[in-house]
Amino acid sequence: MAVFTGAGVAIVTPMKENFEVNYEKLDELLEEQIAGSTDAIIICGTTGESATLSEEEHMDVIKFAIDRVNKRIPVIAGTGSNSTATAMQLSAEAAELGADGVLLVTPYYNKATQNGMIRHYTAVAEAAKVPSILYNVPSRTGCGLSASTIAALVRDVPSIVGVKEASGNFSHIAELMNLTDGKIDLYSGNDDQIVPLLSLGGIGVISVLSNVAPKETHDIVDLYLSGRTKESCALQLKAIPLISALFSEVNPIPVKAALNMMGREVGPLRMPLSELEPAHKEVLKKELKAFGLL
């Protein structure tokens, strides 16, 4: 059984003006997401600025989300690292805290071989003991998982159940679904490609868009999976200008700006990320208004 089906939010980590994690605000965001029909919380992913959290903060934020959500919907912890030992430790701790699954980004910077990534993921998944979702995002990590590598991991490691695909390469995704005979939980990692990925057998999205439009993102998936594909496609296409604005600069710069515009007061970004450029801010504000969010 899949960890979740539908739209999971890759939720931001709100900060105070002194750059400490704002747990009071995170509590509010979690409640708003659940009320907005989000199907899962993905905590401490890229959008959550995990790269700038200390290991202690990382686990504190994961624990806070697990405790506050309290099994109402699944919580998936981002616990990947370019250090296998660190990823094993974070994943095991998250599982012990009650995470329903872990999201494991490819080991960035090291540029491991496919055999190296098989060894890495096998060790981490076995340490986690909860369902593991691979995260294939070569544009950010400098290395990508081949379709055959993903298929081998899903075949040989029982706890590896799915993949968040942000490669944007649909030939690769089609090959993956062929090699696994569709027996993999496939999630879109790109908000502008939800419907095309669902057409290849996907079951959901791990979404940045959900931070600002949880119900609409949920509906794109729900409509498609319930057979109302034209309505799903229409909603996907309606969201394209907003999605483009949310990726006008590297994630999570625009989405934090959007939430602040919407009065959510999620605070600043930790360096080395910088605030959204004024020209991009104007476009983002325009698209938020057009989508009925301002």
Strand partners, 188: 165, 205
Per the DSSP assignment, residues forming a β-bridge with 78 are: 103
Give the residue carrying structure tokens 């708003």. Answer: 32
Residue closest to 248 by CA, chosen among 293, 289, 288, 290: 288
Give, rounded to a whole angstrom, the gap between the first and last alpha carbons of the chain: 38
* Tokens describing residue 195: 């419907």
Closest Cα partner for 144 from 94, 188, 99, 108? 108
Q: How many of the other CB atoms lie within 10 Å of CB of 46? A: 24
The one catalytic residue among 25, 63, 121, 135: 135
Burial class (CB in 10 A: 0-12, 13-18, 19+), 20: exposed
Among this protein's residues, is 135 annotated catalytic?
A: yes
Other CB atoms within 10 Å distance of the CB of residue 282: 12
Q: Tell me, what DSSP letter sits at residue 50?
A: G
Structural tokens at position 136: 């294939």
Do you find a cis peptide bond into 196, omega within 30 degrees of 0?
Answer: no
CA distances to 159, 185, 236, 268 from 3, rounded to whole Å, are 11, 9, 23, 31
List 25, 63, 164, 256, catalytic entry: 164
Separation between Cα atoms, residue 277 and residue 150, nearest integer Å: 38
Q: Return the active site residues.
A: 135, 164
